[in-house]
């Protein structure tokens, strides 16, 4: 379900809603621990959704999409990913958007992120609205 629909539904019913935000781990052990933590927290507290952040400075070497997809399937919880648009080539962003779609991720929070010049400006999304 789309996050905005969940928010509108909760607001119309006068319900409180909340989410948890997770940072993708850098190690395999950390990732396994995170899945256990997500499952435990979602079972105990029933958040409306969870959010998985993108890497610092637009780093696409992390596993944000995979973590969100596995959490979505493992815990049956709607997920949202942050996607930082700066410091990435257009082709990389397109590939990551397709990957998110392939994994069934419907909720993406597009962010500009901190501008850290790695590529010529002509190859970058400078603002998230240009995504």
3-state helix, strand, coil in the chain (%, to 5): 50, 15, 35
Query: Residue 131 and residue 128: Cα distance in Å, rounded?
Result: 5
pLDDT tens, position by position, 54-92: 865 555 556 899 999 999 998 889 999 988 777 677 888
- List the structure tokens of 105: 């991720």
What CATH number has the domain bearing residue 86? Answer: 3.20.20.220
22-46 residues labelled b (16+ CB within 10 A) or e (exposed): bbbbeeeeeeeebbeebeebbeeee
Q: Looking at residues 15-20, what average pLDDT do you find? A: 94
The proportion of the chain whose per-residue pLDDT surpasses 90, expressed as a percent, equals 55
Q: How many domains does the chain have?
A: 1
The proportion of the chain whose per-residue pLDDT surpasses 70, expressed as a percent, equals 77
Average pLDDT, the chain: 84
Active-site option among 21, 28, 39, 66: 21
Q: Which domain holds residue 40?
A: 3-130
Catalytic annotation present for 21: yes
Of residues 69 and 93, more confidently modeled: 69
pTM of this structure: 0.80
Of residues 121 and 130, more confidently modeled: 130
SS3 111: strand
DSSP 8-state symbol, 24 = P
Backbone angles phi, psi at 113, to 5 degrees: 80, 175
């Amino acid at each position: 379900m789309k996050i905005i629909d969940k928010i509108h539904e909760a607001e119309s019913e006068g319900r409180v809603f909340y989410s948890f935000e997770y940072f993708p781990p850098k190690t395999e052990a950390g990732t396994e621990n995170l899945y256990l933590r997500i499952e435990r927290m979602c079972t105990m507290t029933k958040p409306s959704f969870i959010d998985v952040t993108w890497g610092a400075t637009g780093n696409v070497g992390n596993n944000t999409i995979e973590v969100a997809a596995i959490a979505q399937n493992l815990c049956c919880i709607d997920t949202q990913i942050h996607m930082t648009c700066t410091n990435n080539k257009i082709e990389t962003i397109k590939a990551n958007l397709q990957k998110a779609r392939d994994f069934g991720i419907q909720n993406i929070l597009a962010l500009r992120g901190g501008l850290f010049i790695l590529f010529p400006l002509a190859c970058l999304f400078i603002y998230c609205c240009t995504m």
